[in-house]
């Protein structure tokens, strides 16, 4: 029978992700709208976004946070084009976005002294192959595969290379050992359910030192430049953005950061996401027709949860359409380059009650699509 109870919020997309519970645009501080981002007010709001990010993530002393254009992709491109080329590079990839960094490094930057360690969807590469004297590129959470890094134990404390981490579906949802990360990037529209187009760039003192002592052998467009005359453009990390940001998006991000603090901070956000994953894990255990794409529980993402079904591609498409038509779950199909299946966001902005309400609908839609 068709279930009678629907999720209050059917937004289970893996990006942009659902807004925080109780969100309404009327709650935003709109004083900065229509003002220059270079005004005292505009700079203060941007600086607050940087300061609150630093505080809530418990970043180590000396780490710098900047707001940059182009979402997480822009932040990653800025880091790679500005920092790579001095040392050999080890690239770890196991899903579409990680493979994109491989392409950029080998085909666009055309770095020859590289090593690529690649795993199939649902699996993860052997990180013990990482050379601490090389620069290392990896994603913390494979958004399109549902596979995350278990920990940072494989990163050497005595490394001489830099670790550059695409952490866009992990920040504010997973426990990241920041002392092992020299560069991290993320975007507002993932874990926090913010608006798109703005990226966050986190630099360790080691990364800053590299920027100020090394000049890449290729031209850098203005939008990628982090230094001037051999010195860090410090204003980027004090609210003076490279290009014009949307102050409405900034206020939306500040609202999300305030919500994180109100629910108990970083630890509470991580716990909420892990508890959401546990709901789906129990459901998978109880139903033989559905399983995680990642067979190893230790590397299963607790944000972008990817599931495979005993069904044809067409049956899965039918199932997804049924759920959307019933306004039960929107945008839960697997990423276009990933194996066919479902992808359900379980970050902290998703309420556990909505996941619980979704489960009977998954069973109903599966039976409708496959009978």
Are 233 and 331 part of one and the same domain?
A: no
Are 243 and 308 part of one and the same domain?
A: no
Residue 331's CATH number: 3.90.1150.10
Are 108 and 153 part of one and the same domain?
A: yes
Q: Measuring CA to CA, how many Å separate 142 from each of 280, 307, 346? A: 18, 14, 14
38 in a domain, yes or no? yes
Are 175 and 323 part of one and the same domain?
A: no
Are 296 and 222 part of one and the same domain?
A: no
How far is C-alpha 303 from the chain's CA centre? 9
| pLDDT value for 64 | 98
| pLDDT value for 156 | 98
Are 306 and 251 part of one and the same domain?
A: no
How far is C-alpha 324 from the chain's CA centre? 25
Are 185 and 299 part of one and the same domain?
A: no
Are 97 and 172 part of one and the same domain?
A: yes
Are 252 and 271 part of one and the same domain?
A: no
Rounded Cα gap, residues 187 and 195, in angstroms = 9
| pLDDT value for 73 | 96
Are 78 and 178 part of one and the same domain?
A: yes
Rounded Cα gap, residues 289 and 125, in angstroms = 27
| pLDDT value for 100 | 93
Domain membership of residue 132 as a residue range: 34-262
Rounded Cα gap, residues 248 and 240, in angstroms = 16
Quote the number of domains for the chain: 2
With both helix axes pointing from N to C terminus, report the angle between 352-370 and 266-286 in degrees, rounded to the nearest 10: 30
DSSP calls for 57-125: TTPPTT-EEEEEESHHHHHHHHHHHHHTTSS-EEEEE-SHHHHHHHHIIIIIS--SSEEEEE--TT---
| pLDDT value for 350 | 98
| pLDDT value for 275 | 98
In this prediction, the residues of the chain whose per-residue pLDDT falls under 50 are none
224 in a domain, yes or no? yes
From 234, 262, 290, give the residue that closes a domain.
Answer: 262
Are 276 and 129 part of one and the same domain?
A: no
């Amino acid at each position: 029978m068709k279930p009678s109870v629907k999720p209050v919020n059917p937004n289970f997309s893996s990006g942009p992700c659902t807004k925080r519970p109780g969100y309404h645009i009327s709650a935003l501080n709109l004083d900065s709208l229509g003002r220059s981002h270079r005004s005292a007010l505009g700079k203060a709001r941007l600086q607050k976004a940087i300061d609150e990010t630093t505080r809530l993530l418990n970043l180590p002393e000396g780490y710098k946070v900047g707001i940059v254009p182009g979402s997480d992709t822009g932040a990653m491109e800025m880091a790679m084009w500005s920092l790579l080329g001095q040392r050999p590079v080890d690239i770890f990839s196991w899903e579409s976005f990680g493979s994109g960094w491989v392409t950029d490094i080998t085909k666009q930057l055309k770095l020859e002294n590289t090593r690529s360690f690649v795993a199939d969807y649902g699996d993860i590469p052997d990180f013990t192959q990482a050379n601490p004297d090389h620069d290392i590129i990896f994603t913390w959470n494979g958004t399109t595969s549902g596979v995350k890094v278990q920990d940072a134990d494989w990163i050497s404390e005595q490394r001489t290379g830099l670790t550059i981490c695409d952490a866009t579906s992990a920040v504010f949802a997973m426990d990241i050992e920041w002392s092992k990360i020299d560069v991290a990037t993320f975007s507002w529209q993932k874990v926090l359910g913010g608006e798109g187009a703005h990226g966050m760039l986190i630099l360790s003192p080691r990364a800053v030192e590299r920027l100020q002592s090394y000049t890449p052998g290729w031209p850098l467009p203005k939008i990628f430049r982090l230094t001037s005359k051999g010195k860090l453009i410090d204003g980027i990390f004090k609210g003076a953005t490279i290009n014009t940001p949307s102050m409405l998006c900034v206020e939306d991000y500040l609202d999300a950061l305030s919500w994180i603090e109100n629910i108990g901070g970083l630890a509470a956000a991580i716990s909420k996401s892990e508890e959401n994953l546990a709901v789906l894990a129990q459901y998978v255990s109880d139903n033989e027709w559905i399983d995680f794409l990642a067979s190893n529980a230790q590397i299963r993402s607790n944000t972008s949860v990817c599931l495979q079904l005993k069904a044809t591609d067409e049956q899965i498409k039918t199932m997804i359409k049924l759920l959307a038509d019933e306004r039960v779950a929107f945008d839960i199909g697997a990423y276009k380059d990933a194996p066919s299946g479902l992808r359900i966001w379980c970050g902290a902005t998703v309420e556990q009650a909505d996941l619980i309400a979704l489960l009977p609908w998954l069973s109903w839609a599966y039976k409708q699509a496959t009978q």
